Amino acid sequence: MNKHLLVFNLKSNLIMFFSFLGITLMYSTIATAMFDPTTSELMQQFIDALPEAMVNMMGFSNFGTEITGYLATYLYGFIFFIFPMIFIVMLGNKLMAKQIDDSSMAYLLTTPNSRVKVAATQALTLVINVFTLILINVAVIVISAEIGFSGQLQIGKFIGLNFILLGVLTLVSASVFLISTIVGDYSKAVGLSSALVGYLFIMNMIKNLSDDLNFFQYTTFLSLVNIDKVMESNSFIWLSGSLSLISGILVFILSIIIFNKKSLTI
């Protein structure tokens, strides 16, 4: 890792980071502030009046009357998938494909830094941004919930849910990073990585349509963020979170190996 490059990357992408942080925090704070058992029941009645297919696809089938299930359903069926994944596509391709495409990467490699060190720094930049985005949201939600509804949030389960989310987003980040590294052309890399995250998201929505389509959960690793299983089993939390996190790290390592052998125009 190159410390100076890491600091430069973090500073140069602050506007993008704070833009997505602002969007996700808006949803996080509003969702937490809106919670009320009575309101939640009314919202569930409203949801029940909508077409079942639409409700299932959005992951809004059961808001519940306690804050942990309410927040999990409201935020982790759509919001904390779509916005972080858009952020990952934009930042991941900016860090690799764009720099390969416009020869900025070739310039970096003329400095006394190995390809492995440069690629590892770019990967670490992406991971730090994604983890910080989610962790700030988690901290704000927990603090807000404790202030407004002291003792009602199951903090252990909530953190477990986010452990799985971070593992899954690490795997998404690594997959986008791999595409960006292999393709090297910025426009093509953005198109392919957008297609990937779109596919993962759509398959995750389709699996919710009905029990008959439940097999679609095996076509997307986003299905690991399973709210019901998180609430039921701690072993599921550790297994799913650890496997997705380790898989993401391995894909990042593969990307760095490929980049180290890649032919670049200097």
Residues 65-74 pLDDT 10s = 578 887 888 7
Q: Exposed, middle or buried by CB within 10 Å (0-12, 13-18, 19+), for 66? A: middle
Task: Indicate the residue type of 259.
Answer: F
Strands (E), the chain: none
Whether 42 shows a pLDDT value over 60: the answer reads: no
Q: Would residue 115 count as lying in a domain?
A: yes
Is pLDDT above 90 for 201?
no
Mean pLDDT of the chain: 82
Amino acid at 167: G
Q: Range with the lowest mean pLDDT among 20-24, 98-102, 141-145?
A: 98-102
Q: What would the mean pLDDT of 221-228 be, rounded to a whole number?
A: 81
User: Does residue 132 form part of some domain?
Assistant: yes
Q: How far apart are CA 100 and CA 244, in angstroms?
A: 28
Q: Count other C-beta atoms under 10 Å from residue 153's C-beta.
A: 22
CA-based torsion, 23, 174, 167, 116: positive or negative: negative
DSSP track, 164-206: HHHHHHHHHHHHHHHHHHHH--HHHHHHHHHHHHHHHHHHHHH
Better pLDDT: 217 or 29: 29
Q: How far apart are CA 180 and CA 93, in angstroms?
A: 6
Residue 207 pLDDT:
72
pLDDT score at 76: 83
Tokens of 212: 């008959």
CA distance 59 to 55: 6
pLDDT of residue 40: 53
Distance separating alpha carbons of residues 89 and 197, to the nearest angstrom: 8
Query: Structural domain of residue 142, as residue ranges?
Result: 3-261
Contact indicator for 260, 116 with CB cutoff of 8 Å: yes
pTM: 0.85
For residue 89, report the phi and psi dihedrals to the nearest 5 degrees. Answer: -60, -45
Is the model more confident about 50 or about 67? 67
Domain membership flag for residue 25: yes
Q: For residues 126 and 92, is the Cβ–Cβ distance under 8 A?
A: yes
Question: Sign of the CA dihedral 167, 169, 175, 178?
Answer: negative
Residue 25 scores a pLDDT above 90: yes
- Cβ count near 139 (within 10 Å): 11
Give yes or no for residue 88 having a pLDDT over 90. Answer: yes
User: Stretch 147-154: mean pLDDT, rounded?
Assistant: 82
How would residue 134 be classed by pLDDT, with cut points 50, 70 and 90? very high
pLDDT band at 260 (very low <50, low <70, confident <90, very high): confident
Q: What's the gap between Cα 240 and its chain centre?
A: 15
With cut-offs at 50, 70 and 90, classify the pLDDT of residue 214. Answer: low
Domain total in the chain: 1
229 in a structural domain: yes
Residue 105 pLDDT > 60: yes
Region 151-167: mean pLDDT is: 90
Residues 237 and 163: beta-carbon distance below 8 Å = yes
Tell me, yes or no, whether 48 lies in a domain.
yes
Q: Please determine, for residue 190, whether its predicted confidence score (pLDDT) is greater than 70.
A: yes
Amino acid of residue 48: D
Residue 209 placed within a domain: yes
Residues 6+ apart with CB under 8 A from 19: none
The H or E element that residue 239 is part of is helix 234-261
Taking CA atoms, 182 is separated from 91, 192, 242, in Å, by: 16, 11, 26
Highest mean pLDDT among 71-75, 78-82, 178-182: 178-182
Over residues 13-23, mean pLDDT: 93
Question: For residue 266, is it within any domain?
Answer: no
Q: Which helix (H) or strand (E) holds 210?
A: none
